[in-house]
Structure 1
Amino acid sequence: MMKTLILPIAVIGLTLSGTAESAVTSNFDNLILAANSHWAGETSPSAPLFEPNASSFNSGLATFSNQMTDWGGGVSSWSGWAYSNQTDNTTPGFENQYSAYTGQAHSGSNFGIAYLSGDAAQISFAGPVQADGLYLTNTTYTALSMLNGDSFAKKFGGASGNDADWLKLTVSGLSGGVESGAIDFYLADYRSSNNSLDYIVNGWEWLNLSSLGTIDGLKFAISSSDTGLFGMNTPAYFAMDDLTVTAVPLPATIWLMITGLLAFLGFNRGTVHRNPALI
């Protein structure tokens, strides 16, 4: 009798391990924002001046890293991830750093904004996932800087329009802290000899991440043709929405170990105990 009752529990374990998981989308709309506003981190009264205060926020299965630094005198700066619903796509400059150049989110009202400084702009997952992809676009600040130039950065294409400028985002998969692969996406590309093919991304574009395989994190790097003595001159921002991932189920062997343990706990030697959960 004991063997007969344990077998169905093991079968249940195998069935659960083989069940297809549903895709989950991080669309930022679970995060509460007032109209035309953003969240980009917070300083801590207990943190010393000039030291970053690390924080994070969650949407879907993803955790987005952020850090805010208090420089004193009411001055602070952030890096990593923010979330926003600001859509001013005409005002240039740093004061408009939280707006998407598209003038809207890809879905809903909110979207993510990344400012890349060091390794701050990372995404982690509680367990292994298969990343399906995400939607990307430029921020207004970065797009108008590339389109017209500003006090720090050049106009892409230069005065003649023939300069082979570009802004490239590199998305890398992480598994146990080790890179599993990388995918490049050009937020602007003026490298063609045909100037009519030059572009600055101004809509939401899908980036397929499935080639990264099973991962537990993502990291981002940005590079530009416009660099100087102190690094990149182009504003190091991009906007993201609707990151879609699918959780990878536990292997059947682990499910068998778990269900076998449950079976052992449900039976005493020589005595059958009815488990209400199995009725």
Structure 2
Amino acid sequence: MKKLLLFAFAAFALAACSDEDNTVEPRYDVISFEKSEGMLDAAEMPVELRDVTIAGDWAGGDFSNVLCGKEYMMNEDFNGTYFDGLLFTTADKKIGFGSYFTDNKYSSYGASDVWGGFVLSQNFSKRSNGGSADYSKDGFSAWATAGANASATFAIAYDNGYGVYNYHTPKIEFTEPRKVAYLYLANATVAAQYTSRVENYWFKVVVTGYLKNAEGGSVEQTLIEGENIAADWVKVDCSSLGEVDELRFKVQSNDMSGNYLNCPAYFCVDEIGLIAEK
């Protein structure tokens, strides 16, 4: 009887080990915005980062290695000439990143370039400006030395709370529902440079999933809390969102005037991991 029990236990242990050995790790489709992925721009041409001049007194400047909506402005309204659409997509055009850009030429405050949503960039800066955000130098920079996992390109996002357009806030759209396992977030340089007068200042990014226009779950990541500023990329678990056909990003902070943020509502996104399709 003892031998039989020992044999049964050994068989059970062997089966358990076999089950462990057969565990299959999920595979991921990763969007890292690199040239090798063959991403397409708003004109359905291969993405090419380039030099751009942004007009404006406080955020204007000359920038290199950027893809923004300025050259795709073809519509006109009460603000001026503008672009409001998917600035870049995956090579199969199944996943798109929204962006908005206007020259504001009809504004009573004077013409200046304004954008929202997503932009692509290869700019990194951890230069300190003595507590002041310098948009003219670092408006498209990540507070890091490289992209997530040492990539070259990342997406910088601006949650433009003053816009009235579809893509003035950051959105990712999927033509078919997908499960997002994770993504990486980092501070934008202008956000990391900002010095708040609010006691116990904090800054976070909220990612909300949508499916068929119905709001689903959310995950959030704090990037600044008091003197603790995330110094590099932070991996954010998005598996709880389930299947989504849209991701919307929102900046939240306790540094506000009424319903509007005082702090720079900029952050960076990279290395989006999707559960691979079978």
Normalising by structure 1, report the TM-score.
Answer: 0.69
Q: What amino acid is the match of 2:98?
A: S
Equivalence for 2:252: 223
Q: CA deviation at 1:89?
A: 2.0
Structure 1 residues 127 and 22, CA, compared in 2 at 3 Å: closer, same or farther? farther
Equivalence for 1:93: 134
One of 68, 75, 80 as aligned partner of 2:117: 80
Q: Does 1:139 align with 2:188?
A: yes
**Residue pair 1:131, 1:246 contacting (<8 A) in 2 also:** yes
Unaligned stretches of 5+ residues in structure 1 = 1-19, 191-197, 250-279
Equivalence for 1:26: 31
Q: CA deviation at 1:45?
A: 4.4
Q: CA deviation at 1:201?
A: 0.9
Deviating above 6 A after TM superposition, structure 1's stretches of 4 or more consecutive aligned residues are: none
Higher fraction of strand: 2
- 3-state SS of the aligned residue for 2:240? helix
**Residue pair 1:97, 1:141 contacting (<8 A) in 2 also:** yes
**Residue pair 1:27, 1:111 contacting (<8 A) in 2 also:** yes
Q: CA deviation at 1:164?
A: 1.6
Q: CA deviation at 1:32?
A: 2.4
Structure 1 residues 45 and 59, CA, compared in 2 at 3 Å: closer, same or farther? closer
Q: What amino acid is the match of 1:54?
A: D
Q: State how far apart, in whole Å, the 2-side matches of 1:117 and 1:207 are.
A: 22
**Residue pair 1:128, 1:247 contacting (<8 A) in 2 also:** no
Equivalence for 1:187: 223
Equivalence for 2:213: 177
- Give % identity: 25
Q: What amino acid is the match of 2:157?
A: A
One of 153, 168, 172 as aligned partner of 1:110: 153
Q: State how far apart, in whole Å, the 1-side matches of 2:115 and 2:275 are.
A: 30
Q: State how far apart, in whole Å, the 2-side matches of 1:176 and 1:125 are.
A: 11
Moved more, 21-30 or 206-215: 21-30
Q: Does 1:41 align with 2:57?
A: no
Equivalence for 2:201: 165
Equivalence for 2:273: 244
RCO (CA 8 Å, sep 6+): is it higher in 1 or 2? 1
- 3-state SS of the aligned residue for 1:63? strand
Q: State how far apart, in whole Å, the 2-side matches of 1:143 and 1:201 are.
A: 8
Q: What amino acid is the match of 1:113?
A: I
Tell me the number of residue pairs that the alignment of Structure 1 and Structure 2 aligns. 210
**Residue pair 1:136, 1:204 contacting (<8 A) in 2 also:** yes
Moved more, 100-109 or 42-51: 42-51
One of 234, 237, 247 as aligned partner of 1:205: 234
**Residue pair 1:49, 1:69 contacting (<8 A) in 2 also:** no
Equivalence for 1:66: 99
Q: State how far apart, in whole Å, the 1-side matches of 2:251 and 2:213 are.
A: 19
**Residue pair 2:48, 2:67 contacting (<8 A) in 1 also:** no
Structure 1 residues 21 and 104, CA, compared in 2 at 3 Å: closer, same or farther? closer
Q: CA deviation at 1:141?
A: 0.6
Q: CA deviation at 1:165?
A: 1.4
- 3-state SS of the aligned residue for 1:179? strand
Q: State how far apart, in whole Å, the 2-side matches of 1:104 and 1:24 are.
A: 21
- 3-state SS of the aligned residue for 1:141? helix
Unaligned stretches of 5+ residues in structure 2 = 1-24, 36-46, 52-63, 162-167
Q: CA deviation at 1:49?
A: 5.1
Q: CA deviation at 1:46?
A: 4.2
Give RMSD over aligned pairs: 2.4
Q: CA deviation at 1:248?
A: 5.5
One of 173, 176, 183 as aligned partner of 1:124: 173
Q: Does 1:53 align with 2:83?
A: yes
